[in-house]
Amino acid sequence: MSKLCQIIAVANGKKARRESALTQIHHQLQRGDLFTGLVKTYRPKDEDGEQYPSERKRVQHLAHKLVADAAAVLTDLFDTILTQDEANCEARGSICIDGVAILPDVPVTYLLFLEKQLVDVRTIVDKLPIVDPAKEWHYSESAGCLQTRPIERTKTKKVPKFTTIAEATEHHPAQVDKDYEDIVEGYWETVEFSGAVTFERKRTLLERVEKLIDAVKAAREEANAAEIRSHKIGEQLFGWLLAE
């Protein structure tokens, strides 16, 4: 008995040969002149009359032969594809993670679909933004996202400061120097929020999706290694179609 992976490889080759053979037959069917022939001979009225050479044109294609050729190609292909489709209905594999089957006996066609979808999931996970790792984040139930702890900073303002350099005299006013100093006016409390994920979470998700993709591939290989039964229906179909 063959394995599903073997019949898939065979089917692809037969599909290519089918296209080539049927294309050639189609082109031949467009040439109506190739299906006609004749023999043209001349007989003079009198025995001593002038003779002319005969003309001959051979029939190059037989319609029933071309149909038979197409039937032969398609009979083989029909049998192979039916065998493949029947095997796809029966072939199954289990998706196992760390020795545990998280999805047992999954059809091989679904495994092919799932593998392609998980590749898209991996692309999405790989594009996830991450929060600034230099800050401390925690999940806030009320905000529904990550947030930092409150950070308090002082708010200052500049106020003028006057310093007497020289006291006033009878003849001169006092000399005063004007400067500014910062005084605490209040306090700013800042809490940052983010809809991104942490680096650790992103790394975990990437590791998990890679692990899942590998498990699906292994399950597909398991399903493709299943032994299959051959099916023959081509002769029956064309036997009825081409019956005289």
- Over the chain (244 residues), the average pLDDT of each successive run of 10 is 75 86 90 90 88 91 89 90 86 92 92 95 96 93 94 91 79 81 92 95 96 95 84 87 84
Whether the CB-CB separation of 205 and 62 falls below 8 Å is answered with no
Residues 226 and 219: their CA atoms lie apart, in Å, by 11
Buried b (16+ CB within 10 A) or exposed e, 9-41: eebeebeeebeebeeebeeeeeeeeeeeeeeee
- Global confidence as pTM: 0.65
Residues 27 and 73: their CA atoms lie apart, in Å, by 16
Indicate the DSSP class of residue 130: B
CA distances from 206 to 122, 146, 160, 203, 213 (A): 7, 20, 59, 5, 11
Q: What phi-psi label fits residue 145: left (phi over 0), alpha (psi between -120 and 50 degrees) or beta? A: beta
Indicate the DSSP class of residue 228: E
